[in-house]
Structure 1
Amino acid sequence: MKARQRRNTVVLAVITLIVLLIFAFPFLWMLLASFKTQAQIMSTGQFFNFMPNLDNYTSVFREYDFLKYIWNSFVVAFGSTFFSLLLGLPAAYAIARHHLHKLGLVILVARIIPGITFLIPWFILFSKVNLVDTYTALILSHMLVGLPFIIWIMISFFEALPTEIEEAGLIDGCTHHQVFLRIILPISGPGVITSSLLSFIFSWNNFMFSIILAGEKTKTLPIAVFNFMSYSEINWGALMAAACIITLPVLIIALLAQRYVISGLAAGAVKG
């Protein structure tokens, strides 16, 4: 029996390692290529055998003004996440407590509809009010996906919370708004962190809305990376360095908030 369990454990470990290598290989190639020259990247015999250098990273910040693009992406991602939470948390709580399942279904449909469906109407609308190439246009367009996403995650999370907690707060003299702000939100931390993190990642990586609604003043990181590709050639070294720069902040945030994300998704998946 023990031998069978040991064999199953070894087989599971081998399968997990194979899957991990398959998914991690593109990131490993990206990281190594960011320290190579163009010739070394194109050479099949220099995957590991090369002399690392930081020329790609220095050129990214010196020639392409990447700090500006990082700031633009942060403003848009933070703004869209903040306002989505501001509107989405009360909406999700109301839907959960008043059993507005039809409204929840409408929100789910809004989340399922491809974002490109709204792109042309957004562009026409923002052009009419002179909001193209502004943070406002990008934040509102990103909220089109982030807001329904936060609402849908938090509905199931709020439904899992026992109503006795709210009743106790009302008995102690709190209003419904105070119960929500002082009792419900503090104990909903994992769900809030999970939904806000996923919304932030979506906004940080979004390409479709930015390529239409952003201009030179509000160009974000995905658009800046796209500019490394031209008709004549692709600057692979700078492109990989820029991709690493984009990935690093999200990776750090995800690692720091990992336990909250797991507990938030688990709590939202169970209805009490």
Structure 2
Amino acid sequence: MSGSLTLSSRSTRSRRRRRRETWRWVAIAVISMVFLFPLLWMFLASFKTSLDITDPGAMFSFSPTLKNFENVFTQQDFGPFIWNSFVVGAVSTLVSLVIAVPAAYAMTRFTMNRSAGMLLVARIIPGVSLLVPWYFVFSKMGVVGGYLPLIVSHMFVALPLIAWIMLSFFEGIPVDLEEAGRVDGLTPIGVFLRIALPLSVPGIATASILAFIFSWNNFLFALVLSGEATRTLPVAIFNFIAYSSIDWGGLMAASVVITFPVMVMALFTQKYIVSGLTAGATKG
């Protein structure tokens, strides 16, 4: 009798587990559809004519065309805009790494709590509140429209972001390893370069990816501080918006061009992004 009751309870628990698993996958599918449907619509619309885009019945049944992408790369000449976005993103990320990584290491090892708090304040301050002062200063310097204002403004977000991520990584490195390096004759700088820095490569990769993605997608800073020769992709997309009409096909094709590199980067580096964002979450 007791054996049959045990089998019955196990069967009940098994059914409950299967039911929970089924509902979990249903929830994942629904949430994925909600987030992925706009991307799917954008991708399909990039191969449609303007007439097909505005026709609800032509959601999936349409004759694909490459004229929108031809418009993006020939008539609108998006090549220089892609290069500008890459230059601004790469340089601002690289310079921020050179400054933020040693700063994060120093704040971790010398317990600079106030400096770490200032980093948090810098992340809280909205960048839009500094656009007018930035424009005033850069216009007085005569550099508005060049690469320098864009790089500096993007560093305002990238630098504290990188430093904040690296704080958690350096806190996770055992101090015993660095003490062993000092015993072997390494200077503090040598300990940082030969021990701490190699061990923090996953954190550096995470911070670099997130900083570059922010710079690639940034619109507001480039709208105000860029010029005709330094216009980046998010600003160049306005070329498809006229006073009386919108080229929806070209707009969607340009959106695909902007989104695709970032999506590919995120897919191939998601392991580093997750590990960077969760570093130090279980410490203590």
TM range (shorter): over 0.9
User: How far apart, in 1, do the equivalents of 2:107 and 2:283 lie?
Assistant: 14
| Alignment correspondent of 2:111 | 99
Q: Is residue 245 of structure 2 the alignment partner of residue 233 of structure 1?
A: yes
Structure 2 counterpart of 1:166: 178
Unpaired segments of 5 or more residues in structure 2? 1-12
Mark the runs of 5 or more structure 1 residues left unpaired by the alignment: none
Q: Contact 1:210 / 1:223 at 8 angstroms: preserved in 2? A: yes
Q: What is the match of residue 70 of structure 1? A: 82
Whole-angstrom CA distance in 2 between matches of 1:107 and 1:82: 18
Following superposition, the deviation at residue 96 of structure 1 comes to: 1.0
- Determine if the alignment matches structure 1 residue 35 to structure 2 residue 47: yes
Query: What is residue 229 of structure 2 aligned with on the other side?
Result: 217
Distance 2:57 2:98 in 1: 53
Instruction: Report the counterpart of residue 128 of structure 1 in structure 2.
Output: 140
Counterpart mapping for 1:79-228 below 5 A: 79-228=91-240
1:73–1:221 Cα contact (<8 Å) kept: yes
Find the aligned partners of 2:132 and 2:47 in 1 and give their Cα distance: 40
| Aligned pair partner of 1:20 in 32, 56, 59 | 32
SS of equivalent residue, structure 2 residue 245: coil
Which residue number in structure 1 is paired with residue 259 of structure 2?
Answer: 247
Deviation at 1:267, TM superposition (A): 2.6
Question: What letter matches 2:159 in structure 1?
Answer: L
Give me the whole-angstrom Cα distance separating, in 1, the residues matched to 2:275 and 2:55: 45
Match of 2:18 among 6, 24, 38: 6
SS in 2 for 1:227: helix
> What is aligned with 1:56?
68
| Shift in Å, 1:174 | 1.2
2:269 aligned to which of 250, 257, 269? 257
TM-superposed deviation, 1:142: 0.4
- TM-aligned CA deviation for residue 71 of structure 1: 0.1
- Per-residue deviation at 1:269? 2.6
Native 8 Å contact 1:156 1:271 kept in 2? no
- C-alpha distance in structure 2 between counterparts of 1:180 and 1:191, whole Å: 15
Aligned length: 272
Structure with greater Cα Rg? 2
Measured in 1, the distance between the counterparts of 2:20 and 2:203 equals 35
Once residues 206 and 54 of structure 1 are traced to their aligned partners in structure 2, the CA distance between those partners, rounded to angstroms, is: 27
Letter in 2 for 1:227: N
Give the stretch that moved more between structures: 257-266 or 196-205.
257-266
Residue identity in the other structure for 1:21: M
RMSD: 1.1
Per-residue deviation, residues 2-51 of structure 1 (Å, max 9, x unmatched): 11111110000000000000000110000000000000000010000101
Per-residue deviation, 1:106: 1.1
1:89–1:202: structure 2 CA closer, same or farther, 3 Å change rule?
A: same
Of all paired residues, the percent bearing the same amino acid is 52
